[in-house]
């Protein structure tokens, strides 16, 4: 229910494209070919001994070719230095009277969960108190624990529900923890490994959605049932609060414990962008918040915020897709529809996020992918007061978030750019200018480079932006090794952000780095995302192709010097660029990717993404999905650029099977296709900084070897 800020992940995504097929929308198209016709189906056994032996053989081959020389070792060390740096900003969140941080460095590769006071945090070198040493815990329990977070019970914040993952998988173990004694509670709330969702009700009760046994999980591999569990009783005795359908995506519940505004909510996610939220009364009765299923809602104190993803008409007035609306919660639930428009997008602007302080709302607005912050204040009678917090420097990203919406108008603000290391500011609304608290170190000499923003016209006439980071001395002669990165899915925006790894691994070698803000993302709000859904997915790939061609037309690079890289949905983008636009690239890297779109709904959490891609088990939808399914579109005799597929055995979101099968299929046809599968790491493909540095060094080394 609560709006989540979307963090930029500039390390993992750079995509590819498909040919611009106008997919036939007819039910007469053949259904997906039976899985038995797939010669690589045997690789579906993720942990099988034969399969892992096959993986290890491919890993050894890839390491031997690209990760065994002194140049690779040097790059890996330089990237690990960035990740392990003691000078990086320790980002914090407030829990009670302390500020908490998860810190990883050379001495603590798995991390420390630690805390300090605001007075200490304001110092250059704060004194930290260790709460959980994750490395020590993993060693004592002989488990490869990866920290997945903690939920602490307010207002005293003594009891926490801590989530720990084995090797970085989405599934985790939940244990109750005491913040005063800094120990796990032996007889406390404990859940075995599963994709669980838990939330405090009070000290003796929690909401729990987990794997309760056969039939309790959805086809998307998430909980179908949420229950109320009382302390000291077996999980089997927990009482059912809500039970969804097997085809739902997930079910969860939580209590808003804001003093004076305590409320319980149940959420039914039918699919991405399609959910129902209910208020749970003291008698257990559920009352639905009456907004469209594709709208996002957030309740804070007396206010209900609504983000419609499609135009919404109420009482004769239409509210635009991508707008931010406000209403008094109790009045809305009583049937009144007095709605205030807090933000309305235009052709160039979109809502990037928002965050509450005690008396104000911080709204992050993007205009052509560059951000600014507005401060909105509800007035007793009349429109909300609107002020500007301060714009970002040119071509940069600003994000602001309230520190404790229950008690204070304090906020943290970060400013970052491609060549500008992140600065963290602290301020209090209404009390003057914020102060700079922390500065991220510079990991490369930014003075040698320039950032520019360009716009290109895609195949259907749509104007698409992209950012270019290049040496100031660059000559437009077509000889510059150029790496193009994109994502184009799930309404995720790629904004300017500093990356020491990109600087060291690519820019310092003389390369040009490009981020393409293609459709499918959220750079221009829901409309930008919806323009590339399902049958329109090829629009994202056309956009990426247009950006790539523009780099050629501007003589920045040529196909033999241009590569692209993408992860997850961006890995699907990469797979399509490989199979549909092979003439544009000299090398491709596809990370933790979806690639077999015929069977993706039957692998890991794939069924949860049908709202994005469609259902391949329906003949009319497979008719268009097959046009952007890389695994089915590999053709013998085609000239493909060299490609590296990277994945993780412990990725239980997308799963390693996609990459395994794609590599196997291409290798069987004699193509230059490499595979590296990290045995640990989850969907991030790395369980610690050392693994992350290796995976990044492998990708950048592979690309540089082919594009230099």
Could you list the active site residues?
Answer: 568, 683
Asked whether the beta carbons of 676 and 696 are under 8 A apart, the reply is: no
What's CA 428's distance to the chain center, in Å? Answer: 29
> Listing from the earlier edge strand, what are the strands of the sheet with 349-356?
349-356, 361-367, 370-377, 385-391
**Measuring CA to CA, which residue among 369, 290, 298, 305 is closest to residue 336?**
290
**Measuring CA to CA, which residue among 632, 628, 658 is closest to residue 535?**
628
Residue whose structure tokens are 């090398």: 587
Asked whether the beta carbons of 189 and 168 are under 8 A apart, the reply is: no
Residue whose structure tokens are 């909980």: 223
CA distance 21 to 534: 12
Task: Give 203-235 as a DSSP string.
Answer: TTEEEEES--STT-B-TTSSBSEEEEEETTS-G
DSSP state, residue 187: T
3-class DSSP state of 332: helix
Asked whether the beta carbons of 598 and 476 are under 8 A apart, the reply is: no
> Maximum distance among all alpha carbons in the chain?
72
CA distance 664 to 399: 43
Asked whether the beta carbons of 194 and 171 are under 8 A apart, the reply is: yes
Torsion angle of the four alpha carbons 423, 429, 433, 439, in this order, in degrees rounded to the nearest 10: -10
Asked whether the beta carbons of 364 and 525 are under 8 A apart, the reply is: no
Asked whether the beta carbons of 371 and 392 are under 8 A apart, the reply is: yes
CA distance 305 to 295: 10
Query: Which secondary structure element, helix H or strand E, spans residue 176, and what is its range?
Result: strand 172-178
Phi/psi zone of residue 495: left (φ > 0), alpha (ψ -120 to 50 degrees), beta?
beta
Q: Which residues contact 185 (CB under 8 A, 6 or more apart)?
A: 159, 175, 176, 177, 178
CA distance 597 to 537: 12
């Amino acid at each position: 229910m609560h709006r989540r800020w979307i963090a930029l992940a500039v390390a993992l995504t750079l995509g590819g494209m498909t040919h611009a097929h106008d997919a036939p929308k007819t039910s007469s198209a053949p259904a997906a070919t039976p899985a038995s016709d797939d010669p690589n189906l045997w690789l579906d056994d993720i942990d099988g001994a034969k399969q892992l032996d096959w993986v290890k053989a491919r890993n050894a081959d890839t390491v031997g070719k690209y990760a065994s020389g002194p140049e690779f070792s040097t790059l890996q060390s330089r990237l690990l230095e960035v990740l392990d740096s003691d000078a990086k900003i320790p980002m914090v969140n407030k829990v009670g009277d302390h500020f908490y941080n998860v810190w990883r460095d050379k001495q603590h590769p798995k991390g420390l969960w630690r805390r300090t006071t605001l007075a200490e945090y304001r110092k250059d070198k704060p004194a930290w108190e260790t709460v959980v040493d994750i490395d020590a815990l993993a060693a004592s329990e002989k488990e490869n624990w990866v920290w997945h977070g903690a939920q602490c019970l307010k207002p005293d914040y003594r009891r926490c529900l801590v989530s720990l993952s084995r090797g970085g998988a989405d599934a985790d173990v939940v244990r109750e923890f005491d913040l005063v004694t800094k120990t796990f509670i032996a007889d406390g709330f404990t859940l075995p490994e599963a994709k669980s969702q838990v939330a405090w009700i009070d000290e003796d009760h929690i909401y729990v959605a987990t794997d309760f046994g056969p039939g309790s999980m959805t086809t998307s591999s998430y909980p179908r049932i949420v229950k109320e569990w009382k302390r000291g009783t077996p999980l089997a005795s927990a009482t059912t609060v809500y039970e969804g359908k097997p085809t739902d995506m997930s079910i969860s519940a939580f209590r808003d414990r804001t003093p004076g505004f305590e409320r319980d909510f149940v959420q039914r996610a039918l699919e991405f962008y399609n959910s129902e939220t209910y208020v749970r009364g003291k008698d257990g009765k559920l009352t639905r918040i009456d907004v469209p299923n594709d709208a996002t809602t957030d309740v804070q104190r007396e206010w209900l915020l609504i983000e419609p993803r499609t135009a919404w008409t109420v009482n004769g007035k239409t509210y635009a897709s991508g707008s931010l609306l406000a209403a008094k919660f109790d009045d809305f639930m009583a049937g009144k529809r007095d709605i205030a428009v807090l933000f309305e997008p235009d052709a160039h602007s979109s809502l990037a996020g928002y965050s509450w302080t005690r008396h104000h709302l911080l709204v992050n607005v993007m205009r052509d992918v560059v951000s600014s912050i507005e401060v909105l204040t509800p007035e007793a009678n009349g429109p909300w007061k609107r002020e500007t917090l301060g714009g970002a420097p040119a071509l940069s990203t600003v994000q602001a978030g309230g520190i404790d919406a229950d008690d204070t108008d304090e906020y943290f603000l970060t400013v970052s750019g491609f060549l500008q290391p992140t600065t963290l500011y602290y301020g209090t609304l209404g009390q003057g200018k914020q102060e700079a608290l922390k500065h991220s170190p510079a990991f490369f000499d930014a003075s040698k480079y320039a950032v520019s923003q360009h716009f290109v016209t895609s195949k259907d006439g749509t104007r698409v932006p992209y950012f270019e980071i290049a040496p100031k001395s660059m000559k437009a002669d077509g000889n510059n090794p150029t790496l193009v990165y994109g994502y184009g899915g799930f309404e995720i925006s790629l904004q300017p952000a500093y990356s020491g790894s990109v600087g060291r691994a690519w820019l310092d070698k003389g390369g040009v780095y490009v981020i393409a803000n293609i459709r499918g993302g959220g750079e221009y709000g829901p409309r930008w995302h919806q323009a590339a859904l399902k049958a329109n997915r090829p629009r994202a790939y056309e956009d990426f192709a247009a950006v790539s061609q523009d780099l050629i037309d501007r003589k920045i690079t040529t196909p033999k010097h241009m590569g692209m890289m993408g992860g997850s949905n961006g890995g699907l983008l990469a797979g399509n660029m490989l199979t549909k636009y092979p003439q544009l690239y000299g090398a491709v890297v596809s990370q933790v990717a979806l690639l077999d779109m015929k069977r993706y709904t039957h692998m890991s959490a794939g069924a949860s993404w049908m709202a994005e891609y469609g259902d391949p088990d329906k003949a009319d939808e497979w008719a268009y999905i097959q046009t952007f399914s890389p695994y089915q579109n590999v053709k013998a005799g085609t000239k493909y650029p060299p490609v590296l597929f990277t994945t993780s055995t412990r990725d239980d979101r997308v799963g390693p099977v996609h990459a395994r099968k794609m590599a196997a299929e291409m290798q069987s046809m004699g193509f230059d296709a490499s595979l590296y599968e990290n045995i640990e790491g989850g969907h991030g493909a790395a369980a610690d900084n050392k693994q992350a540095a290796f995976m990044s060094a492998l990708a950048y080394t592979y690309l540089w070897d082919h594009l230099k």
